[in-house]
Amino acid sequence: MNRLLALLAFLTIAAFLLILAVNVSSPDLVIIILITLGFVAYDFATSSRNKRD
């Protein structure tokens, strides 16, 4: 369930940033958005997996 909610949050922030990138369309902003999505994807991949002690 946590992984599903994390995926939903990732898709929500990705959709918001995509709308921002399309409407503003500044090359610098697109680069920052790609970096931000990379950080969010990394956090999603590392935080939502099952932790075994």
> In the predicted model, what is the mean pLDDT of residues 20-38?
92
Q: Cα 14 to the chain's mean position, in Å?
A: 5
CA-to-CA separations, 9 to 1, 24, 27, 42, 44, in angstroms, rounded: 12, 23, 25, 13, 9
Is the pLDDT score of 53 beyond 60? no
Q: What does pTM read for this prediction?
A: 0.74
Is the pLDDT score of 38 beyond 60? yes
* Mean of the per-residue pLDDT values of the chain: 87
Distance separating alpha carbons of residues 5 and 16, to the nearest angstrom = 17
Is the pLDDT score of 25 beyond 70? yes
Taking a C-beta distance cutoff of 8 angstroms, is the pair 17, 37 a contact? Answer: yes
